[in-house]
């Protein structure tokens, strides 16, 4: 089973992505969070269950931006190996470059049409569930909660 942390504030986008990801025929477990601060808190507090296999992260989020979430993940010794895929409507090359500079594993331009969403979701799941070898699932060490919770959450 592929565990996906979907961080998306737009309810319509989140619903379409979730539906498309679940229709791929590959077992997925999706945790949906609506803002960057929730994502940082979830990753810091999620000490009982294994971490997600991959984070699907929007850039334009309330409270903490996708850039800030990515920076927090990459600055944590316990989380820095966690694959992060940006999925954003932005095609701005400076934003794309910044994501890669901050350590994003991939950048996907958010599809607009339903057929494209379904195709992109299927390719995403097949790639992350079948084609790559993911890091072992690790529980967050107690120090990770302190490191991430110290983040500026407004």
Residue 39 near residue 57 (C-beta atoms within 8 A): yes
pLDDT in tens, the chain (154 residues): 999 999 999 999 999 999 999 998 999 999 999 999 999 999 988 655 678 999 999 999 999 999 999 999 999 988 999 999 999 999 999 999 999 999 999 999 999 888 899 999 999 999 999 999 988 765 444 444 444 444 434 4
CA–CA separation, 122 and 20 (whole Å): 7
Residue 60 near residue 11 (C-beta atoms within 8 A): no
Question: Domain-by-domain residue ranges, the chain?
Answer: 2-52+63-130
pLDDT for the residue numbered 141: 44
| Number of Cβ atoms within 10 Å of the Cβ of 4 | 23
Exposure string of 10-40, with b = 16+ CB inside 10 Å and e = fewer, is: eeebbebbbebbeebeeebebebbbbbbbbb
Does the domain at 2-52+63-130 match CATH 3.40.50.2300? Answer given as yes
Residue 58 near residue 68 (C-beta atoms within 8 A): no
In the structure encoding, which two tokens stand for residue 52, read together?
């997600």
Residue that is written with structure tokens 């694959």 in the block: 83
CA 74, distance to chain mean position in Å, is 12
Residue that is written with structure tokens 């490191």 in the block: 147
Residue that is written with structure tokens 């993911």 in the block: 134
Residue that is written with structure tokens 């929730």 in the block: 38
Global confidence as pTM? 0.86
Give the three-class secondary structure for 131: helix
């Amino acid at each position: 089973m592929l565990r996906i942390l979907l961080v998306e504030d737009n309810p319509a986008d989140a619903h379409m992505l979730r539906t498309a990801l679940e229709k791929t025929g590959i077992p997925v477990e999706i945790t949906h969070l609506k803002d960057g601060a929730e994502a940082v808190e979830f990753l810091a507090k999620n000490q009982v269950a294994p971490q997600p296999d991959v984070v699907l992260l929007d850039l334009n989020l309330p409270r903490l931006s996708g850039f800030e979430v990515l920076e927090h993940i990459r600055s944590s010794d316990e989380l820095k190996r966690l694959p992060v895929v940006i999925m954003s409507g932005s095609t701005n090359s400076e934003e794309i470059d910044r994501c890669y500079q901050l350590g994003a594993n991939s950048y996907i331009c958010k599809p607009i049409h339903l057929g494209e969403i379904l195709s992109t979701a299927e390719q995403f799941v097949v790639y992350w569930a079948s084609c790559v070898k993911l890091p072992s699932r690790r529980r967050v060490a107690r120090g990770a909660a302190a490191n991430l919770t110290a983040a500026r959450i407004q």
